[in-house]
Amino acid sequence: MGNRLKDKVALITGGARGIGWSIAELFAAEGARIVISDVNEVLLKEAEGRLKSAGAEGIGIKSDVTNPDQVEEMVKKTVDKFGKINILVNNAGITRDGLLMRMSEADWDAVLSVNLKGAFLCSRAASKVMIKQRYGKIINIASIVGIRGNAGQANYAASKGGLIALTKTLAKELGSRNVLVNAIAPGFIRTDMTDKLSEDSQKAILSRIPLNRFGEAADVAKTALFLPGAESDYVTGAVLQVDGGIVM
């Protein structure tokens, strides 16, 4: 265990599994107090248990990032429990892939709602606390697909491109209050989200990755660790690609 994030409070959405969990685990190992939020109560309880058995101080809060009341409540509960929020990781995300001609409005709305509106609602609620503190770091988990587009993911790519634009806009709005906002754009990372892809698609992606391997959730977490620490106190509005070099 290190202490790079000692005395910091981190709120991580969609943190019960995948990349969000890896970030929670690493930030906790570096001394942060953790709030994991997620929609899945069973997974949330399990994640809370894992944090406790690792000796970390952390709680789980059931909250849907698309619901403004639940988001406000999540931020309130975090402040009630730990007194502040230093770090918000907007990680909750979903896919509903399909070609444009076959994409339903429901699939478009669901993805935009979780991936983009969710980040807006959580940033709006948490930044009120951060502005009062005159300190905060917001980390948005975007995707390389939001930079270069991807056939079959119109909704997802638009949400992640929007998230990158939101990152830069909030960096400009909140910079004078010492609230820094950055994005991470992962490439292909092995999680439940990417396990859904066919073997053929996975092979085709691998052949284009210069580092010749898929990323792990821990690869994203290790990059995320750069952002809440003092090492990045002059970095805002940036998009850090964690993609093995697939987009350059």
Where on the chain is the footprint of ligand NAP (CB under 6 A)? 13-14, 16-20, 38-40, 43, 64-66, 91-94, 114, 118, 141, 143, 186, 188-189, 191-194
Nearest distance from C-beta of residue 188 to ligand NAP, angstroms: 5
CA distances from 238 to 29, 51, 72, 235 (A): 25, 30, 27, 7
When the beta carbons of 66 and 127 are compared against ligand NAP, the nearer one is: 66
Nearest distance from C-beta of residue 230 to ligand NAP, angstroms: 25
CB environment 181-214: b (16+ within 10 A), e (fewer) = bbbbbbbbbebeebeeeeeeeeeebeeebeeeeb
Nearest distance from C-beta of residue 142 to ligand NAP, angstroms: 7
When the beta carbons of 20 and 228 are compared against ligand NAP, the nearer one is: 20
Nearest distance from C-beta of residue 151 to ligand NAP, angstroms: 16
Taking the C-alpha atoms of residue 87 and residue 84, their distance in angstroms, rounded to an integer, is 9
21, 82, 108, 156: the catalytic one is 156
When the beta carbons of 66 and 167 are compared against ligand NAP, the nearer one is: 66
When the beta carbons of 124 and 177 are compared against ligand NAP, the nearer one is: 124
When the beta carbons of 131 and 206 are compared against ligand NAP, the nearer one is: 206
Sign of CA dihedral 11, 17, 19, 24: positive
CA distances from 56 to 5, 50, 189, 225 (A): 12, 9, 26, 16
Taking the C-alpha atoms of residue 74 and residue 184, their distance in angstroms, rounded to an integer, is 23
Nearest distance from C-beta of residue 27 to ligand NAP, angstroms: 15
User: How many whole angstroms from its chain centre is CA 210?
Assistant: 25
234 is catalytic: no
Taking the C-alpha atoms of residue 118 and residue 229, their distance in angstroms, rounded to an integer, is 24
Q: Give catalytic residue positions.
A: 156
